[in-house]
Amino acid sequence: MNFSTDASDRFLSNYLLKFIHKKGQEVVAEELKKVIIFDQLFFPQPWSTSGWQGIVETKNRYYLLQVEAAQKLIGIALFDMIEADNCAHLLKIAVDPQFRQRQIAAKILQEAFSFIGKTEQFLKIYLEVEEQNKVAIKLYQRAGFSAIHRLRNFYGQGKDGLAMIRFMKK
Ligand SMILES: CC(C)(COP(=O)(O)OP(=O)(O)OC[C@H]1O[C@@H](n2cnc3c(N)ncnc32)[C@H](O)[C@@H]1OP(=O)(O)O)[C@@H](O)C(=O)NCCC(=O)NCCS
């Protein structure tokens, strides 16, 4: 799998990307506030503050990956780590529009795959995506996910979803 292009390599070399992994660790209030704002600005189906609060309170179950460039939050991904099923559920991934199409989401996924593969006995990653979100579907296909079924009206009346899965290479 090769996500890189010369142009995006040159762009990214101007930024030192910092990946912040949070699993079983406290997400401090200030940090959480930034993530909630990011979610509301850039994710198609954002959560309420209380939804996010529930996540951080069950901290052993969730894995939040944040990416910073020049100390600015530019991307997030959130996984629900379902140990009973050996499955990580990708709940959210988003990149600041100013930084899109520069392989940031691809790098977030690579970083997450390596973290999940190293630290947990997870065999697969599962996700749902709106069928009309062609950009996200392309990203997931490029990262090794395959569609497994269609979820009728999953995102509301007439808005179908796709369930996708990627098996971890062990
Ligand atoms: C989906 C999203 C995270 C992609 O982030 P990104 O950093 O721009 O993606 P990348 O640059 O890493 O692109 C990786 C691959 O995704 C696909 N892709 C990304 N942007 C694309 C676009 N505008 N058009 C077509 N394909 C695109 C391509 O296959 C690309 O690989 P390639 O450039 O080698 O062909 C970003 O568009 C986003 O935040 N969207 C809003 C939130 C969202 O919809 N999240 C998913 C919900 S399930």
Q: Which CATH number covers residue 155? A: 3.40.630.30
In a domain? residue 117: yes
**From residue 106, how far is each of 73, 112, 137 by CA, in Å?**
16, 10, 12
Residue 2 C-alpha from the chain's centroid: 19
Atom of ligand 1 nearest to the CA of 140: 16
User: Per-residue pLDDT tens for 58-81?
Assistant: 767 899 999 999 889 999 999 999
In a domain? residue 1: no
Q: How confident is the model at residue 1 (pLDDT cuts 50, 70, 90)?
A: very low
State which of 78, 80, 137, 139 you would mutate to test the pocket of ligand 1, scoring each by most atoms of that ligand within 8 A of its C-beta: 139
CA-CA-CA-CA torsion sign (155, 24, 114, 34): positive
Residue 8's pLDDT is what? Answer: 63
User: Per-residue pLDDT tens for 23-57?
Assistant: 888 888 888 999 999 999 999 999 999 999 888 78
Q: Which residues line ligand 1 (CB under 6 A)?
A: 3, 42-44, 93-95, 100-106, 129, 133, 135-136, 138-139, 142
Beta strands in the chain (DSSP E): 17-23, 62-69, 72-82, 87-95, 124-130, 146-151, 161-167
Q: What is the Å distance from ligand 1's center to 59 Cα?
A: 28
The residue segments making up the domain with residue 20 are 6-167
What is the number of domains present in the chain? 1
In a domain? residue 42: yes
Return the biggest CA–CA distance within the chain: 44
In a domain? residue 27: yes
Residue 29's pLDDT is what? Answer: 87
Nearest-angstrom CA–CA distance, 93 and 42: 9
Q: What is the Å distance from ligand 1's center to 94 Cα?
A: 9
